[in-house]
Amino acid sequence: MLNIMTSTDSAPVGKRITTHELSSELRVAVTRLSRRLRAEKADNELGDGQYSVLAFLCREGEKTLGELSEFERVKPPSMNRTVNQLEAAGYLVRRASVDDRRKVYFIPTDAGRELVAETRRRRDAWLDKRLAKLPPAKRALLGEAAKVIRELADS
């Protein structure tokens, strides 16, 4: 059992919950927040998986189909459909390797980089607006929670 503080409309109340209950509450909260943040994007036609691939390319640089498939944990044929759609939208281009003409790299275009930057800006602005309304103590608590969540995600 864990003893955590939950707040109600009145005052903080100590409530003992199990790690199972905490994991369920945290999963729901993170999922809902993630879903809400994903709604803030610069191109509403782009799917979450497509955006993820494009953002990965912008962050990590050119990648092969196999590397993209591994990153997204999908089969190459599925990733091929994703990169074809991104290419058709003008968000990435293909470049053959100079060493091995059979190897193809995917590179974000300027339009793709701009889309990722604008989507990140919109998501940050949405969250910043809501965080600014919280009292300093809750913002500090979320700062600590963010560290723990990142540790969990990286484990």
Query: Which of 10-24, 32-46, 91-105 comes out lowest in average pLDDT?
Result: 10-24
6: helix, strand or coil: strand
What's the predicted TM-score (pTM) here?
0.79
2 φ/ψ angles, rounded to the nearest 5 degrees? -110, 150
> Could you report the per-residue pLDDT of 108-125, keeping only the tens digit for each?
999 999 999 999 999 999
Question: Would you state the structure tokens that stand for residue 29, as one six-digit string?
Answer: 């909260």
Q: Is residue 14 very low, low, confident or very high in pLDDT (cuts 50, 70, 90)?
A: low
- Cα distances from 73 to residues 22, 47, 52, 67, 79, in angstroms, run 28, 16, 12, 10, 9
Q: What is the pLDDT of residue 4?
A: 56
Domains of the chain: 2-41+117-154 (no CATH), 48-109 (1.10.10.10)
**Predicted pLDDT at 66:** 95
Whose structure tokens read 């600014």? Answer: 132
Helix H or strand E encompassing 13: strand 12-17
pLDDT at 131: 97
- pLDDT for res 10: 42
Whether pLDDT at 102 is above 90: no
